[in-house]
Structure 1
Amino acid sequence: MINVIVSYKVKPEFVAENKLNIENFLSSFKEMDTSKFNYSVFVDNDGVTFTHVSNYQDENIQKEVLNNLIFLEFQKKRDESGLNNSHKVQILEYIGSTNNIL
């Protein structure tokens, strides 16, 4: 299993658009085989820090998700909004959970 956390800050004027772009790619993900991955997005209390938590059964589904055209468009718009070097990616080793992730 592959587990990834991505966090970044956007400018306050981009928050509403970023939320809409997130809704769009999450909606498109629902057309995929979601039994093979889980993708969640959170916004911090500061209102500008977004955290994406994803779990993938394997590299194949990770590639499929990350190459989704709507997701790629989201990333392009997000990056062009100006992240001020706040983008952080963490790869995590799964230890356990109260529920099955996949």
Structure 2
Amino acid sequence: MINVIVTYTVKPEFVSENKANIQKFLNDFKQLDQSTFEYKVYAKEDGITFLHYSNYRNEEVQHEVLNTPSFKEFQRLRDESGLNGSHKVEFLESI
């Protein structure tokens, strides 16, 4: 099992667009086999920091999920919005 947490902070003026872009890829993820992965997104209390939690059965599933076109577009738009070095990826070990 692969477990990942991604956090990043966007500019206040990008929050609404970021939420809309997230909803697009989450809707597309519903078309995939939900029994092989989990993907959840949260906004932190400050309203501009987002946390994405995901787990995947294996690398093949992770690759399929993360290469969904709407997810790739979300990443591009998020990165172009100016994250100011806030993007952080952490891999978690299950206990």
- Same fold judged by TM-score > 0.5? yes
1:31-85 Cα offsets, whole Å, 9 max, x none, are: 0001000000000010000000000000000000011100000000000000000
Q: Give the structure 1 partner of residue 17 of structure 2.
A: 17
2: distance between equivalents of 1:40 and 1:65?
13
Secondary structure in 2 matching 1:35: helix
1: distance between equivalents of 2:59 and 2:94?
15
| Higher helix fraction (1 or 2) | 2
Q: Size of the alignment, in residue pairs?
A: 95
Q: Give the structure 1 partner of residue 71 of structure 2.
A: 71
2: distance between equivalents of 1:94 and 1:25?
26
2: distance between equivalents of 1:30 and 1:44?
24
1: distance between equivalents of 2:69 and 2:94?
28
Q: Give the structure 1 partner of residue 59 of structure 2.
A: 59
1: distance between equivalents of 2:38 and 2:22?
14
**Which stretches in structure 2 are left out of the alignment for 5+ residues?**
none
**Which stretches in structure 1 are left out of the alignment for 5+ residues?**
96-102
1: distance between equivalents of 2:16 and 2:94?
32
Q: Give the structure 2 partner of residue 5 of structure 1.
A: 5
Query: Does 2:45 align with 1:45?
Result: yes
TM-score (norm 2): 0.99
Question: C-alpha displacement at 1:94, in angstroms?
Answer: 1.0
Q: Give the structure 2 partner of residue 87 of structure 1.
A: 87
1: distance between equivalents of 2:56 and 2:49?
23
